[in-house]
Amino acid sequence: MRINPVVFFVSASIVVLFVVLGAVFTEPAGLFFGTVQDFIVSYLGWFYILSVAIFLGFVLWLYVSPYGEVRLGKDEDRPEYKNSTWFAMLFSAGMGIGLLFYSVAEPIMHFSAPPEAPGGTVLAAKEAMNLTFFHWGLHAWAIYIIVGLSLAYFAYRHDLPLTIRSTFYPLLGEKIYGSLGDLVEIMAIFGTLFGVATSLGLGVMQINSGLTYLGFAESSIENQIWLIILITLAATASVVSGLDKGIRRLSQLNIGLGVLLLLFVLLTGPTVFLLSSFVESLGYYLQTLPALSFQTDAFKGVEWQKSWTMFYWGWWISWSPFVGMFIARVSRGRTIREFIRGVLVAPTFVTFLWVIVFGNTAIHMELFGPGGIVAAVSDSVPTALYAMLSQLPLGFLSSALATLVVATFFITSSDSGSLVIAILASNGEPTPPISQRIFWAFTQGAVAAVLLLTGGLVALQTAALTTALPFCVVMLFMCKSLLQGLRSESYALSPGENPPQAPDTITAETHPELSEAF
C-alpha cells in the first residue's frame, strides 16, 4: 500500500483535533501550553542537556572511527547531487527561517541581559555571540545527523524502507512492521509537524514585521494568519512539482538570495570588525564547548535555560525527523565520513558566519554607533533584523530582500516538511501520493496558525519542547541500533580500507550475532 492507514489516520485525527480545540478554546489552550513548558523544563531539562551532549559525542566518534568508510548505499553507488546543490538543500531545510529570525534578535537579547556578565558591556557582547554559536552550532547539526545517517544507512545499504521504523531493525527485527513501528512513525510525524509549525510561526511573524516596516501591512495576528494561508498555497504548489523541480530550485534560490543579503551586510557594515570578531568568537566557542554542553544551571534555576538552551534542543529534536529524512533522501552514495563532514562542519561554519555578520553588526551599532536595536527588540522580537538593516545604506531595499528570503525559506520548509511527513505515513514510499503531501502542507499551516492564536512565541516554544520529549528517547535507542547495525557488517574495517559489498539486508541468517535481538 502507498499509505499506512494506522499511521496516517491516527496522526491526522489527533492533529485535526488539536487544531479544532486550539481554535475554539484559545485562552485555555494558551494556559495549558505554559503549564506543560514549566513542567518539562523543571523536571526534565537535565535529560535534554545530557542527551544532546551524547548525540554530538557519538557523531564525532563515528567520524574518526573505521566505520567512516562505510558508504550509504552499495559500494558502487555515488552521490546523486553535486556538493553545492546538496549543501543548499540541507541548509535550507535545516536552519532557514529560524536563523533569519534569531540572527539579530538572540545576540542582542543576550547582549542586553546575559546570564553571567553585566548587560550592555564588552563582556556581554562576547558572551552573547558565544551563546548564539552554542545554540546554532555543532549540537544542532549532530541531532540531524543521528536521524539522517541512520535512515540513509538502513535504507540504502540494507534496502529497508526509508522510514524511522527501519532504523530499529537490529533491535526489533520484523517487529518494526507492527504496532511498535507504527508508534515510532506517529511520534516522528508529531515531532516533524510541530517542529516545522514552530518555524513557520516564527517566519510569518518576521514577514509581517518586514511588511510593516516597508509600509505594506500592520503587524497583527489576523495578517499573520492571512500570510500563513498565502504562503502555504505557494508551498503546496512547490510540493506538487516534486523534489527535483520544486524543492531543489527553491533551495538554490533562497541560498542565492541569502548569500546576496549576507554579502550586503558584510560589505556595508563594519567589515574588519566582523572578520576579526569571527575569528575570536570561533576560538572562544571551541574553548568553552565542553562546559556549555553539560550546563544545566542547577545552582541558580532554569528560568534562562527554559527560554533558550532547552527550547533550542527541543526544537532541533522535533525538527530532526524532518531534516534527517530530507538529508537522507538526498545523500545516497556518500560515505559516513563524507556525510558527517558535509552535514556537521560546512553548515555550522556558514551558520557562524551568518550570525557574526548580522548579530555583531547589531552589537557594533549598540557599542559604537547610534544604538536603538535593544529598544526595538524589547518592543518586538521579529523586528530585530529590520531595525539593524534600517541603519545601513539602502535600508528599504535590503529589508525587502530580507522579507523575500524569509518567504522563500518559509516555502522550502513547508514543502520539504510535507514531503517528509507524507513519506513517513506512506511506508517509506519515496514519492508519496500528491493528495497526502497537499494535506500535510495545509495541516502544517493550520497548526502554525493555532499556535500563534494560543500564545505566540511561548506556544511555539512549548510545542517544540513537548513533541521533542518522546522522540529524544527514540533517538537514544537509534544510536544503539545504528552502532549494532554497523558492527554487523560482514567484514572488519581498518582505517583507509575500502569495504567490500555489504549484504542486501540485515537478517538473522546473514548476521547470527544479532539473532537474539531479532
Q: Give pLDDT, residue 95.
A: 59
Give me the chain's average pLDDT, please.
82
Which of 35-49, 209-223, 338-352 reaches the highest mean pLDDT?
338-352
Q: Give pLDDT, residue 93.
A: 58
Three-state SS for 335?
A: strand
Residue 71: beta bridge partners?
A: 335
Distance from chain centroid for Cα 462? 16
Q: Give pLDDT, residue 507.
A: 43
Q: Give pLDDT, residue 500.
A: 41
Query: Quick one: average pLDDT of 488-510?
Result: 47
Better pLDDT: 329 or 184: 184
- Is the pLDDT at 91 greater than 60? The verdict is yes
Better pLDDT: 304 or 270: 270
- Is the pLDDT at 130 greater than 60? The verdict is yes
Query: Quick one: average pLDDT of 493-510?
Result: 44
Asked whether 48 and 313 are in contact (CB, 8 A), the reply is yes
Query: CA-CA distance, 485 to 70, in Å (whole number)?
Result: 12
User: Which pTM value belongs to this model?
Assistant: 0.85
Q: Give pLDDT, residue 166.
A: 92
Q: Buried b / exposed e across 151-180, counting CB within 10 Å, b at 16+? A: bbbbbbbbebbbbbbbbbbbbbbeebbeee
The DSSP symbol for 298 reads T
How does pLDDT run across 324-345, given as a tens digit for each residue? 887 888 888 899 999 999 888 8
Lowest mean pLDDT among 257-271, 368-382, 456-470: 456-470
- Is the pLDDT at 43 greater than 90? The verdict is no
- Is the pLDDT at 298 greater than 70? The verdict is yes
Lowest mean pLDDT among 225-239, 267-281, 504-518: 504-518
Cβ count within 10 A of residue 84:
10
How does pLDDT run across 414-446, given as a tens digit for each residue? 777 788 888 888 887 777 878 888 888 888 888
Q: Give pLDDT, residue 241.
A: 64
Question: 4-7 long-range contacts, Cβ below 8 Å, gap at least 24?
Answer: 4/182, 4/185, 4/425, 4/426, 4/427, 6/179, 6/182, 7/182, 7/185, 7/186, 7/189, 7/424, 7/425
Query: Phi and psi of 78, rounded to 5°?
Result: -135, 160
Q: Give pLDDT, residue 473.
A: 92
Q: Per 3-state DSSP, what percentage of the chain is helix, strand, and coil (rounded to 5)?
A: 80, 0, 20
Which of 18-22, 364-368, 393-397 reaches the highest mean pLDDT?
364-368
Q: Give pLDDT, residue 506.
A: 43
Q: Give pLDDT, residue 98.
A: 74
- Is the pLDDT at 245 greater than 70? The verdict is no
Angle at 319 between CA 142 and CA 312, to 5 degrees: 70
Confidence band of 499 (pLDDT split at 50, 70, 90) = very low
Q: Give pLDDT, residue 512.
A: 44
Find the DSSP H helices in 65-152: 83-94, 97-112, 122-136, 138-152
Burial of 368 (0-12, 13-18, 19+ CB in 10 A): exposed
Q: Give pLDDT, residue 207.
A: 83
Query: Quick one: average pLDDT of 4-12?
Result: 88
Q: Give pLDDT, residue 463.
A: 67
Domains of the chain: 5-514 (1.20.1740)
Better pLDDT: 196 or 127: 127
Closest C-alpha among 89, 87, 153, 231 to residue 479: 153
- Is the pLDDT at 514 greater than 50? The verdict is no
Query: Quick one: average pLDDT of 303-328?
Result: 84
Which residue's entry shows cell 494506522?
Answer: 6
